[in-house]
């Protein structure tokens, strides 16, 4: 069957759903019913969700979990986390409680500089372009004043604009490399608006430049766009305590645990295959809070992974050491976040999450997010170097397996009780359920 469609975006939501159901499903009424089951009963709220993106047919829900007891810079936070992976919220909560009893997390914003670039082609001597830019630099600021005035009132704006020669990478390739301070907004729209005005100013000035020939007057702007790599928008989160204070039960040898933990981090520092999974665990915590607070987790992911490879080799984002009897564990990551603008003022649950965090500034949110990543990493490494990751993870995953087999309340209780004292695996749970149901027959 031909599945191409013309004018899909012009169809009503009902018509889109009917088209999908009739084209792709053997039981169209079931598909339609499923999609509509996830609509919000409040029509106004549903309309709000429909307008977030294009061609909306329903809502795709993810759980909003809560991780309490995060002591950050001597203040307790209850942290919202949106994620589908079992054991992440539990692990973050456990790490938060562990470190709250040992002085808590310390977090510091080191810088908040963001970056945008105008990429263009200029066929001429570099010195000629440099003289042109130096002579006209102030006009780039002047001609964006209508865009920057409100941001400047809040203490932000354009920090600097520099001309970068990239002809060693591509013939005739140059950049206007601009840096920005966007205060409590993530700033993507602001930055892109400034960049597009820079591009217009650049082209107009080039047309008027008497020292340029005709080809140079018609320099080619390729694109104007912010960068999600923000190596000067950095936050540091850390924990430390005396090695002996790491003991959390009588079975733990704190010195042995600390040394093994540090060795695990060192392996992630030198082995990219391990570093990727190590950092993915960090991102479990970071992404979950970024999503809950209405920020762009794809931008955060891209920037952080680029930062992890800034030396030319992909490596661990976190670091650990033992020095003079003190165990220290820390992370420094780039985070461009906002607490105003975008979904922060539209999505009801984002507003809920930010209010629960006591309406943080962008800097405070950077600290909370970095701490969530460090906590997640600590919990994962603690499990990996002691009991192993699967014991706790599979127990948390047990509920998903039970739901998959549509267990009754009675069966659920029996299954949970059985696996309190038995290792959890998908095969073991399936075998137990099948046996349980055979006995009933």
Q: Which residues are catalytically annotated? A: 85, 280, 296, 393
Tokens linked to 76: 């307790």
Alpha helices in 105-250 (DSSP H): 126-142, 145-153, 188-208, 214-217
Q: Which of 141, 326, 328 is nearest to 318 (CA)?
A: 328
Q: Which of 333, 317, 295 is nearest to 111 (CA)?
A: 333
In the numeric block, the tokens 């970024």 are attached to 290
For residues 226 and 193, is the Cβ–Cβ distance under 8 A? no
CA gap 299, 336 in Å, rounded: 8
CA gap 257, 263 in Å, rounded: 10
43, containing H or E segment: helix 43-50
CA gap 231, 427 in Å, rounded: 45
For residues 212 and 122, is the Cβ–Cβ distance under 8 A? no
Q: Is 346 exposed, middle or buried (0-12, 13-18, 19+ CB in 10 A)?
A: middle
Alpha-carbon distance values, 143 to 161, 183, 193, 247, 324 (Å): 13, 21, 12, 61, 56
In the numeric block, the tokens 């990478």 are attached to 169
412, containing H or E segment: helix 409-418
For residues 103 and 97, is the Cβ–Cβ distance under 8 A? no
Alpha-carbon distance values, 56 to 8, 36, 64, 341, 346 (Å): 11, 12, 21, 22, 17
Tokens linked to 139: 């006009």
Q: Say how many C-beta atoms besides its own lie within 10 A of residue 390's C-beta.
A: 14
* DSSP single-letter state for residue 79: E
């Amino acid at each position: 069957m031909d599945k191409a469609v013309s004018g899909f975006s012009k169809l009503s939501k009902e018509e889109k759903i009917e088209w999908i159901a009739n084209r792709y499903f053997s039981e169209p009424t079931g598909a339609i019913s499923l999609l509509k089951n996830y609509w919000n009963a409040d029509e106004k709220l549903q309309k709000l969700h429909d307008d977030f993106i294009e061609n909306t047919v329903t809502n795709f829900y993810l759980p909003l979990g809560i991780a309490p007891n995060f002591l950050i810079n001597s203040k307790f936070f209850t942290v919202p986390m949106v994620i589908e992976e079992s054991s992440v919220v539990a692990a973050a909560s456990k790490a938060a409680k562990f470190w709250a009893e040992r002085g808590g997390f310390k977090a510091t914003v080191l810088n908040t500089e963001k970056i945008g670039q105008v990429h263009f082609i200029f066929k001429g001597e570099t010195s000629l372009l440099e003289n042109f830019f130096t002579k006209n630099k102030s006009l780039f600021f002047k001609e964006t004043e209508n865009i920057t005035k409100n941001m400047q009132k809040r203490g932000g704006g354009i920090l600097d604009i520099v001309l970068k020669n990239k002809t060693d990478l591509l013939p005739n390739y140059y950049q206007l490399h601009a840096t920005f301070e966007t205060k409590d907004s993530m700033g993507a729209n602001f930055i892109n608006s400034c960049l597009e005005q820079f591009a217009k100013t650049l082209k107009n000035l080039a047309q008027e430049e008497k020292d340029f020939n005709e080809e140079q007057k018609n320099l080619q702007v390729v694109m104007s766009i912010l960068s999600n790599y923000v190596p000067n928008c950095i936050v540091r989160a850390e924990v430390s305590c005396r090695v002996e204070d790491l003991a959390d039960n009588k079975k733990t040898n704190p010195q042995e645990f600390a040394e093994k933990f540090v060795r695990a981090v060192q392996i992630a520092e030198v082995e990219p295959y391990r570093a990727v999974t190590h950092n993915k665990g960090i991102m479990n915590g970071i992404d979950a809070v970024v999503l809950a607070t209405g920020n762009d987790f794809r931008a955060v992911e891209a920037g952080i992974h680029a930062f992890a490879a800034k030396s030319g080799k992909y490596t661990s984002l976190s670091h650990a050491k033992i020095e003079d009897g003190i165990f220290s564990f820390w992370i420094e990551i780039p985070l461009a976040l906002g607490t105003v603008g975008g979904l922060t003022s539209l999505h009801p649950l984002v507003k809920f999450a930010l209010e629960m965090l006591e309406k943080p500034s962008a800097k405070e949110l950077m600290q909370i997010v970095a701490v969530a990543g460090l906590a997640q990493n600590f919990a994962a490494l603690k499990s990996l170097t002691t009991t192993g990751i699967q014991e706790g993870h599979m127990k948390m995953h047990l509920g998903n397996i039970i739901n998959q087999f549509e267990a009754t309340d009675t069966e659920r209780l029996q299954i949970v009780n059985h696996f309190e004292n038995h290792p959890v695996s998908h095969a073991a749970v399936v075998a137990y359920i099948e046996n349980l149901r055979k006995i009933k027959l």
